[in-house]
Amino acid sequence: MTDLTRDAVLGFIGGSGIYEIDGLTNTRWETVESSFGTPSDQLLFGELDGQQLVFLPRHGRGHKLNPTGINYRANIDAMKRAGVTDIISLSAVGSLKEEYAPGHFVLVDQFIDRTFSREKTFYTNGCAAHVSFSHPVAERLQAALAEACRKLDLPHDVNGTYICMEGPQFSTFAESTLYRSWGCAVIGMTNMPEAKLAREAEIPYATVAMVTDYDCWHPDHDSVTVEQVIKVLTGNAEKARNLVRTVAPMLAKRPEVDHQGGDDALEYALITHPDARDPALVAKLDAVAGRVLNR
C-alpha cells in the first residue's frame, strides 16, 4: 500500500437511521442525478469533525424499496458523481453459523451471488468490460472497521462469506441448510450486485454484516419473522452509528491509488475497441469510467 496522500470522502449505504450521528454538521439532502435511472433516495452530505461523509438510505427513507426494486446501478453511479472515494455498506443479515448470534457483526471478505432479477453491470453491449473481483472487499477498509469494532467492544468477526439471495421472501429450510453446507457465514438480500458495481466504478468497498436472526436453520429458534428482525435492527442501528462515528477518522486519509481495493480496476478491463463503442453508452459511463474513457 502506498502512503496516505489524499483526503477520503466516505460513503455509507445502509438503513435510514445510520446518518443520525452526534456531531454530524453542515448536513444537506441533495438530489444527485444518475444516467442509470433514479437512486434510492437523495444523498445526505455532511461533515464529521471536518471530514466529508455521504449517506444513502439503500431502501429509501421509510423503506420504500424491496431488495429487487433497488436501482443498484443508479446508487453507485450517484455515489461516484458525489465524489465518494470509498464505500462502507451496513447491512442486516441472517446468521448461518452458531457463533454469530443476533447482534453480532461480521466483516465479510467474500460474496456468493444468487440473485437473478437485477442489472449487474454498467458495461452492457456497446462497451464491454471485465473487472477482477476475486478479492471483492477492500482490506484497508475492513482493517479499519475491525479496529473500530475492537475499540467499541462490539462482538464481531473478521472474514466470512456473505451469500446474497434474491428475496424478498426469506429462505426455505432446505436453502438455508444448503448455504450452511457451502460454508457461508451470513445471508442477505442487498450486497449483490452492489459490491460488483462498486468495483466496476473503481470505488473500494467493504461490508459490515449486522446479524438480526438465525435465518431458519437453527433448531432452537423459530423461523425468521419481520417482527424479530425489526427488534434486533433497532439495537444494531445504535451500534452502527457508533461504528460510523469511530471508523470515519481512521479513514480520513487514503492512498492515492488503492490497488487492492479496486481504484484501478478498469485499467485493462475495457474490451470493446474505441471505434466500436456505443456513443450513447459511453456518455452514460462518464462518471464510473471517465478515468479510462477520457484519456
Q: Which residues are annotated as a binding site for substrate?
A: 189, 213-215
Name residue 182's beta-bridge partners: none
d(CA 282, CA 289): 8
Q: Residue type at 139?
A: E
d(CA 278, CA 281): 5
Contact 55, 27 (CB under 8 A): no
Contact 88, 163 (CB under 8 A): no
In a 3-state reduction of DSSP, which class is residue 51? strand
What residues form the annotated binding site for phosphate?
A: 16, 58-59, 91-92, 190
Contact 79, 195 (CB under 8 A): no
d(CA 193, CA 71): 10
DSSP 143-157: HHHHHHHHHHT--EE
d(CA 94, CA 164): 11
Catalogue the active-site residues. Answer: 213, 215
The CA–CA distances, whole Å, from 53 to 13, 129, 170 equal 11, 30, 32
d(CA 70, CA 233): 20
